[in-house]
Amino acid sequence: MAAQQGKKNSTNAKKDSSKPEKNLLLRYAVPLLITAVLMVYLPTLRLGFTELDDSIFIKEQKAYNQDLSNLITSFKRGVFNPTEDVYYRPLLLNSFILNYQISGEDISGWHLVNVLLHLAAVLLLFYLLRKIGLNEVSTLLLTLFFAIHPVLSQAVAWIPGRNDTLLAIFTFGFLLSVFKYVEENKIGWLLLQGMLLLCALFTKETAVFTAPVAWVLLVLMKDQKVFSPRMWFMYVTWLAGGLIWFYIRSEATLKNEQLQAADMLTTLPTRLIVLIQYLGKILLPVKLSVFPILQDTSNVYGFVALALLAAVFFFTRNRNWKVIGAGLAVYLLFFIPALLVPASLNDQDFEHRTYLPMMGMLIVLSETVLLRNKLSQSVLLLCGLAVCVVLSIMNVNHQNNFKDPVTFWTAAVNTSPHSAYANMMLGARIDKVDRQRSEELIRKSYELDSTEKYINYYMGVMLQEHDSVLASESYFQKEIRKSDYYMCYFHLARVAFEKGDKLSAISQLETFLDRAPADPQANNNLLLLYLDTKQNDKARELVQRMKSFGMEVPPAIEQQLNAAASSPESEK
């Protein structure tokens, strides 16, 4: 019996020795990914506002975020404006509402949520790459590459960038549930994928390509038959989700006429080069921008990256062209929306848009000599880890561009000097510290694009500061026609007063206070005009409103109003 036991132990020892122990990095892949994300992105908690949309969503929409009933309202309106908007992002708005309940206006709490959302997306991607068939080494290195890549830092460091992170979470979850359903044929996975597809659609319009991506992965990487019963059940589920989204979106108060099919198709040929530019930023992330535009983005890095990609394919043996085709299809499908947006609507090629398409490029890279070579598992992992350390350092350095408005817009102008918006925004933010430079930037912005939103307002303000009050009028009127920016009415009141038209000045201030009722200077100016034009009843009403906002009213003015109320003429 002892001999038999010894023989059994010997057999087990042989079995154990035939299976090499898994590399330490692979054994602790998930903790490694969590650690990498936290080390690279926790520094973003010290960042402030950039004043590119983040101040709108956190500060200007404070009242909207405070009301939890708006979790329903978000499905009925545009993201920036309830009616005058083409963007429909209800779940993004809802993430802001929920974030506000926890953090208020404390920006660090908003940055923390962005980091946690990115972490969730990274972990889902890790399991997704394993599920579609990549080996352990490729899955870990490619997910780590995604987790710390500097081109994705804007999605985390910039608060509104979370929209692409949210989209990735729902998309990766959807794709995982698709594969689980194909494997297990359980209706629970079918229902889950329908729900996650709806969530993705309610996050961003790019999700219309999520179902086609799932189809490509199933057919090319899982060899699923196109017309199998399981595929038909999924087709019906995907179609139902799309129709539900389309119906709810069509009921929302959106301004759809800006997005004409003819405009999008006309835009496509001129924007195809963006695919090459984005490829360069993924493979050679050496010249990133916080506010990139097509005109100022170099094509050189993109073509060099394309040549490098061709070279690594050339040296790769036994390539799986189905996997490569699937990866390229994913990359292209998720980039289509960025190619169709007309420049008149959005002229920026933000780098956080690479968040989902990056998945396709990761799949492509899994079939190159970079990961398919004769290096041992340990050496390959260490080499990949070294590359990721370098990328992490680049990422943290790039994050510094998001620390405050002046730093952000300075970086924007440096990398996109032909952007009228970037020049205008920087000029507006340095006017108190460098007036000359500020005015140079405002004038440059106007020369680049005199129709840019808000530029006529800033031109008008600049003229008034130089005592050219009457000359400023036409600029404010142009801005009102362009954007109806409420601050224009305040400055037009000064124009009217300069002309001696006090009644017009009153009308302009009343319009302004409809939008900004608690503005102290406007209230004081209007009160003085009411008194000057003998409109004492309106003056008394205004005094009460001012007190309700906690504003001080000079005692002399109250005495004057009381005296007027008790005078014989008043009684008559």
User: What is the tens place of the pLDDT at every residue in 145-201?
Assistant: 999 999 999 999 999 999 999 999 999 999 999 999 999 999 999 999 999 999 999
**What local confidence, expressed as pLDDT, does residue 1 receive?**
45
Q: How far apart are CA 522 and CA 507, in angstroms?
A: 12
**In 233-362, where do the E strands start and end?**
none
Cβ-in-10-Å burial (0-12, 13-18, 19+) of 9 comes to: exposed
Is there a domain that residue 442 lies in? no
Residue with tokens 């506010």: 291
Domain count, the chain: 1
- Contact yes or no for 403/157 (Cβ under 8 A): no
Residue range of the domain that includes 156: 28-402
Residue with tokens 């080494």: 137
For residue 477, which of 502, 459, 500 has the smallest C-alpha distance?
459
Q: What are phi and psi of 348, to 5 degrees?
A: -100, 140
Is there a domain that residue 301 lies in? yes
For residue 178, which of 164, 195, 166, 165 has the smallest C-alpha distance?
195
- Contact yes or no for 158/50 (Cβ under 8 A): yes
**What local confidence, expressed as pLDDT, does residue 554 receive?**
86
Gyration radius from the chain CA atoms? 30
Amino acid residing at 358 = M
Is there a domain that residue 532 lies in? no
Which residues does 145 contact at the CB level (< 8 Å), separation at least 6? 362, 384, 387, 388, 391
Which parts of the chain register pLDDT below 70?
1-21, 256-267, 342-346, 565-572
Is there a domain that residue 437 lies in? no
Is there a domain that residue 411 lies in? no
**In 24-76, where do the E strands start and end?**
none
How does DSSP assign 226-245, residue by residue? TT-HHHHHHHHHHHHHHHHH
For residue 334, which of 211, 233, 242 has the smallest C-alpha distance?
211
Amino acid residing at 314 = F
How does DSSP assign 487-514, residue by residue? HHHHHHHHHHHHHT-HHHHHHHHHHHHH
Is there a domain that residue 189 lies in? yes
**What local confidence, expressed as pLDDT, does residue 255 receive?**
72
Which residues does 103 contact at the CB level (< 8 Å), separation at least 6? 109, 110, 112, 113
**What local confidence, expressed as pLDDT, does residue 196 receive?**
97
**What local confidence, expressed as pLDDT, does residue 17 receive?**
45
Render pLDDT for 199-239 as a digit per residue (tens, 0 to 9).
999 999 999 999 999 999 999 998 889 999 999 999 999 99
Is there a domain that residue 244 lies in? yes
**What local confidence, expressed as pLDDT, does residue 260 receive?**
55
Amino acid residing at 456 = N
- Contact yes or no for 292/158 (Cβ under 8 A): no
